[in-house]
Every structure is written in C-alpha cells, then in structure tokens.
Structure 1
Amino acid sequence: MTDRKAELAANLAKVEERIAAACTAAGRAREEVTLIVVTKTYPASDVRILSHLGVRHVAENRDQDAAPKAAVCADLPLTWHFVGQLQTNKVRSVVGYADVVQSVDRSRLVAALSKEAVRTGREVGCLIQVALDAADPTGPAAPVSPAGGAAGGERGGVAPGGIEELADLVAGAPGLRLDGLMTVAPLTGQYAGRQRAAFDRLMVLSTDLRRAHPAANMVSAGMSADLEQAVAAGATHVRVGTSVLGVRPRLG
C-alpha cells in the first residue's frame, strides 16, 4: 500500500467512525447517511485511490478542475456531484459528467440544465440550494430575485420562501429530477455559529417540500467540521473533504 493510499484509508476510517457514532447517537441506521467526498483541488490520482477504497460519491465545485478529472476517472464506478455555484455558460460541460447538481438556485439555471440534459439524453438529479443566511427563515418569506435566486446570501442559494416555486420548476423540467435540498452552514444571520439549528431548519423545509414532491427526500448538509450536527438533524448526505484528503493547498 502506498503512503498516500494508507493515509486516505486511515482518514476514511476515522470519518466512518464519526458518521457511525453520530448515527448511533441519533438512533439512526448507518445506511441512512451517504458519505460524499469533496475532492476539489486534489488530483485524479486521489479520486482513483478513494474509489479503490470503496468511495462511491465524490463532489467538485469548479468545472475547470472537475471536467478533466471526471474524464480521467470515467472508468470508475462513481457518482459525481457538482456542489459549487454554477454559471450557465458552464452547464454544457457540467452536464457531461455530473450525476447530481446540488447548487440549483435560480430559474435560469434550471432552464439551462434542462436544455442540456435533453440534448445529451441524460437525467440530472437536482438539489435546491437553500440560503439560510438570506433572511429570517422562520419569518415572512424572504425576497427572491427575478432570476430566482436569493436576494443576498454569501454562499449562494435560494431563500426559504423561494423553494416551492423553484422546486416546481425543476420537477416539471425535462431531463431533470428533483432530489431534495442542500445547504451550507451560514456564516451570517441568525444561524451563524449554530449549525444544528440551521440543519434542523433545513429538515423542516425538507418536510414541507416532500408534501408536494415525496421523492425529493435527499438532504445534503454537514461538512468536516459539523457532520455530527447534520446527522443528528437528519441529513441523508454529508459532504466531507478536509477530514478525508487533508488541508487543502492555497489556491494561487
């Protein structure tokens, strides 16, 4: 076993222990939570090692890095998730390899994804990215921009008040599949520093969404620092990068 493979195997084992312990503490079965390893900034060789170690879901956030990496790893049994803010001019490339786009936050993006999915004959899973820093999500519906995105929100996403409209658009769009919701723990607003409360709120929003769209039961929340809080709240998928791959190098 190479040094890098041994390192990744040890890190994966530690993350697996954390997820299993969190599931036990929450009274959940381990099978209820899927690990997505965020491989951004790391080479295709790491993705190949992770696949050999049993990882089946990987995520990227920049198309210029992800597209060549996915092409090199096309022979591997992987599900690719795109988790970054997606510009419409990158949609054609992203639909070429992404099985799930977790950052759907505006109507124009829905239209572009649908057009490309139909053109290529693919079905693309979509998560509505929810911005819990956009406004008080327990108060009146937050304002939504004409493009369908949140009016504000440092990390992108649609305000809670815009979920229903955007979800209906995705559900009705050819080539797209509405899978559920995603969020990133907010840096500002009432949930800043309160990850568990933020994830609890996302679960309430997921329950609301599933009344109209029962199959949209995926809830993607939690990263290296807060995966336990996400599992406790009920997340079905956690996105872990640093705890598996190590501290990322600075991008110059």
Structure 2
Amino acid sequence: MSRSDRAAQIRANLETVRARIEAACRKADRSPEEVSLIAVTKTYPAEDVRILASLGVTDVGENRDQEAAPKAAETADLGLTWHFVGQLQTNKARSVASYADCVHSVDRDRLARALGDRAEAAGRRLTCLVQVNLDDDSRAGVIGPRGGVDPSDALDLAARIDEHDALELGGVMAVAPREGDPYTAFSRLYGVASRIRDRYPRATAISAGMSGDLEAAVERGATHLRLGAALLGNRRSIVG
C-alpha cells in the first residue's frame, strides 16, 4: 500500500473513531473535549505514527519497550506525547523513563520506585497512573496476567507514586475483563478514581476503553481512550 493510500485509510478510520467518541459523549452528556485519544501503535511502523501526527493525533501509546524506544527515537522530531500502556518489568524502567511522558501501567511499589529513580537520574518528570485490576477474582497482593492492583490497594500505591519527587500521580488505568459487562467494570474503576482524586485532586485521569468498548468507558467517566485497531486496522508486523 502506498503512503497516500495508507494515509487515506487512517484518515477515514480516525473520522469514524471521532464520530463514535462524539456520539458517546452526547449520550453521556459530556463534552468531547473531556476525552483524549491515545493511538496505540503496537506492531505498526513509525510511518503510521507520522501519518497520525499529520492528522493531529499527537498522543501515542506503546505496549513494549523494545518496540517503543526505537519508534520514539525515530519520531522525536514530531513533538509527540508518549504513553507506555503495557505491563512493565522493573529492569526496563531506565529505558521507559527516558522517552515516555506517562506510564499507565504502574501496578506495584517497586516499579514506582524504579521509574521515579530513573526519571530523576535523567532529569525528567514522569506522570504515572495506577493500574487497577478489574477482574472479579482479583485479590490484594496478586497481580493478574494483564497487570493491576486490587482496587483496595490502589490508594496505597497512589501514595507511593505521589511521594517520589520525580513522579506525578496522574490517576488510574484499567483494562476491562475479557468476560463480563464493561459498564460494570468501568463503574468500579470510576469509584477507585474518585477515592484517589479525593485525596489527590490533580489525579484526574481515567485511562479506560479500547476499540471495542470505548462507549462504555466514555459513559463511565474515561478521560483517555487507548485505541489501536479502530484507527490502524488489524495488527501486523512492523515493516521498515
């Protein structure tokens, strides 16, 4: 596919996505300006990031450091805001802290400390979100396969983030369970977000909703949507 054809495809997808967001906001009596779109470019090439930027999408998300780091470097001239949204091993904290502006997937104290220490060493300030496990069988102290703390532990982790000088507590993030009603799950997340915001008023971000459940997320208060397939199509291997 030529670059012009790919750009036309992404433009059409973006128009469809924005229409969905606007419709969801109307239904929820919210302004579309309250909801930020993060383009998750996992498995897509840096050229797609450039196309998105040309269309006004400058919030970009990635799941894996080994893909994100070189892609961020390749597109450093675009002035993008980079969001790390995948599960993160502590030994990757140095790399992620060097390019990410926001880490959505902070799910344990040790990771928060590592990110804070690495950001401080790099002279950067990093926004972090508490990832919350919305699975029905979540238990305190047990991190599920997709990450996240039990809702009862979220406030304690928020405190660990807030106390580090190089970190900014941004709010919460979650992935809806594979089974069950996303509206119910995101309502639960909103409750966690409210408790954190009551103690830390600047922690207003609620990162929730992907291509298949963005309407539920918007209705339940999401401020950031993480969209990949709806914008860029079926997952594919990076080319070039």
C-alpha RMSD of matched pairs (Å)? 1.3
Query: What pairs up with 1:40-119 in 2 under 5 angstroms?
Result: 40-119=42-121
Distance 2:114 2:136 in 1: 24
Aligned with 1:239 (options 226, 234, 240): 226
Aligned to 1:194: 181
Shift in Å at residue 10 of structure 1?
A: 0.3
- Tell me which amino acid in the other structure corresponds to 1:179: G
The SS at the match of 1:118 is: helix
Aligned to 1:167: 158
Aligned to 2:174: 183
Aligned with 1:221 (options 208, 211, 229): 208
- Tell me which amino acid in the other structure corresponds to 1:207: S
Contact 1:88/1:112 (8 A) holds in 2: yes
Query: Does 1:154 pair with 2:145?
Result: yes
Shift in Å at residue 186 of structure 1?
A: 1.1
- Tell me which amino acid in the other structure corresponds to 1:93: S
- Tell me which amino acid in the other structure corresponds to 2:235: R
How many percent identity over aligned positions?
A: 54
Aligned to 1:147: none
For the structure 1 residues 104 and 134, does the alpha-carbon distance in structure 2 shift closer, same or farther, using more than 3 Å as the test? farther
Question: Mind listing any 5+ residue stretches in structure 1 that lack a counterpart?
Answer: 137-141, 145-150
Shift in Å at residue 29 of structure 1?
A: 0.6
Q: Which runs of at least 4 in structure 1 moved beyond 4 Å after TM superposition?
A: none
Q: What are the superposed Cα offsets for residues 6-49 of structure 1, whole Å, 9 maximum, x if unpaired?
A: 00000000000000000011100110000001001000000001
Distance 2:11 2:5 in 1: 10
Distance 1:175 1:152 in 2: 25
Aligned to 1:209: 196
Give the length in aligned residue pairs: 236
Distance 1:40 1:152 in 2: 23
Distance 1:134 1:76 in 2: 41
Distance 1:35 1:232 in 2: 15
Shift in Å at residue 88 of structure 1?
A: 1.0
The SS at the match of 2:156 is: helix
TM-score (norm 1): 0.91
Shift in Å at residue 164 of structure 1?
A: 1.1
Q: What are the superposed Cα offsets for residues 134-192 of structure 1, whole Å, 9 maximum, x if unpaired?
A: 636xxxxx422xxxxxx1422111111111111000000120000000000012xxxx2
Q: What are the superposed Cα offsets for residues 89-134 of structure 1, whole Å, 9 maximum, x if unpaired?
A: 1111111110000000001101101111110110000000000116
